[in-house]
């Protein structure tokens, strides 16, 4: 089994080096690493070029557009994805391969912990997973910095994913569409990555206000929540 790793980037020169060093120290290397540059104006691309990566550009701005371009360009049967500020644990790629080789699944996810906040446990994301269980009728959700999907499933689900970054969380949206067409998402609590809490530090009021609101908008768009009638389209 071969694995493509996709990392969307937009002005990430403070974080991309540590991310790629973490990938370089994996017990198993991905078979290709694709950096999707979403119009960076800083030194992100110059730093990425110091590593054995393929760099492509997506000119249409947005995480969904950058993610989709990377997934489309991936050559191999499993597509892993993390963010530019992600530091995966050393066995991350190895565990992704193990999970896909030993389970009949279409996508995979796991928790994350913040490496630059006081809250350094995975409690936040495991609780997040558990909240979504009843909403998705026992099925799993995905988290963007720690996920993988088969190329076969991506081809099936791509025509259905939403494209408006302001109306949906792209990882929740992707999970809903995978579940709705009968795909199987597996959650592995030992598949752990560490991410930056920079958005929380920068503006906690905005983060804890905007993020939950967009979750509700995402669920409302897919008619997955009882609050749908009360939400503004």
- 94-147 pLDDT, tens digit each: 999 999 999 999 999 999 998 988 766 777 788 888 888 888 888 999 999 999
Answer yes or no: is pLDDT of 59 > 60. yes
Task: Report the C-alpha gap between 216 and 106 in whole angstroms.
Answer: 25
**31-56 confidence digits (pLDDT tens):** 999 999 999 999 999 999 999 999 99
Tokens at 14, concatenated = 């403070």
Separation between Cα atoms, residue 48 and residue 168, nearest integer Å: 29
Question: For residue 5, what are the β-bridge partners?
Answer: 33, 80
- Kindly report, residue by residue over 137-178, the tens digit of the pLDDT: 889 999 999 999 999 999 999 999 999 998 888 999 999 999
Q: Which two tokens stand for residue 156?
A: 């099936």
Distance, first Cα to last Cα, the chain: 43
For residue 230, give both structure tokens. 């009360």
The pLDDT value given to residue 227: 44
Concatenate the DSSP letters of all residues of 98-151 into one string. HHHHHS--SEEE--EEESSSS--SSHHHHHHHHHHHHHTTTPPP-BTTBEEEEH
**Model-wide pTM > 0.75:** yes
CB 76 within 8 A of CB 32: yes
Q: Does domain 3-196 have CATH number 2.40.50.140?
A: no
Judge whether residue 192 has pLDDT over 90.
yes
**Res 155: pLDDT:** 98
| Spatial CB neighbours of 186, under 8 Å, sequence gap ≥ 6 | 99, 103, 105, 107, 108, 109, 140
Predicted confidence at residue 233, as pLDDT, reads 46
Compute CA 67 distance to the chain's CA centroid, rounded to the nearest angstrom: 9
Percentage of residues in the chain having pLDDT higher than 90? 72
């Amino acid at each position: 089994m071969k694995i493509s790793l996709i990392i969307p980037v937009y002005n990430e020169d403070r974080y991309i080096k540590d991310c790629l060093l973490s990938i370089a120290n994996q017990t198993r290397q991905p078979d290709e690493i694709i950096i999707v540059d979403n119009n960076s104006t800083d030194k992100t691309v110059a730093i990425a070029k110091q590593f054995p990566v393929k760099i492509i550009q997506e000119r249409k701005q947005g995480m969904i557009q950058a993610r989709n371009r990377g997934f489309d360009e991936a050559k191999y049967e499993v597509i892993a994805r993390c963010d530019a500020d992600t530091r995966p644990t050393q066995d991350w790629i190895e565990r992704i391969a193990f999970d896909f080789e030993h389970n009949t699944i279409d996508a995979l996810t796991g928790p994350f912990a913040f490496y630059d906040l006081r809250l350094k446990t995975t409690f936040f994301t495991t609780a997040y997973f558990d909240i979504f269980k009843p909403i998705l009728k026992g099925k799993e959700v995905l988290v963007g910095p720690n996920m993988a999907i088969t190329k076969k499933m991506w081809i099936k689900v791509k025509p259905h994913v939403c494209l408006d970054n302001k109306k949906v969380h792209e990882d929740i949206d992707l999970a809903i569409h995978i579940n709705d067409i009968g795909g199987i998402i597996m959650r592995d609590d030992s598949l752990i990555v560490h991410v930056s809490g920079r958005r929380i530090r920068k503006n906690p009021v905005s983060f804890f206000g905007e993020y939950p609101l967009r979750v509700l908008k995402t669920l409302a768009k897919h008619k997955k929540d009882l609050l749908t009638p009360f939400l503004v389209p």
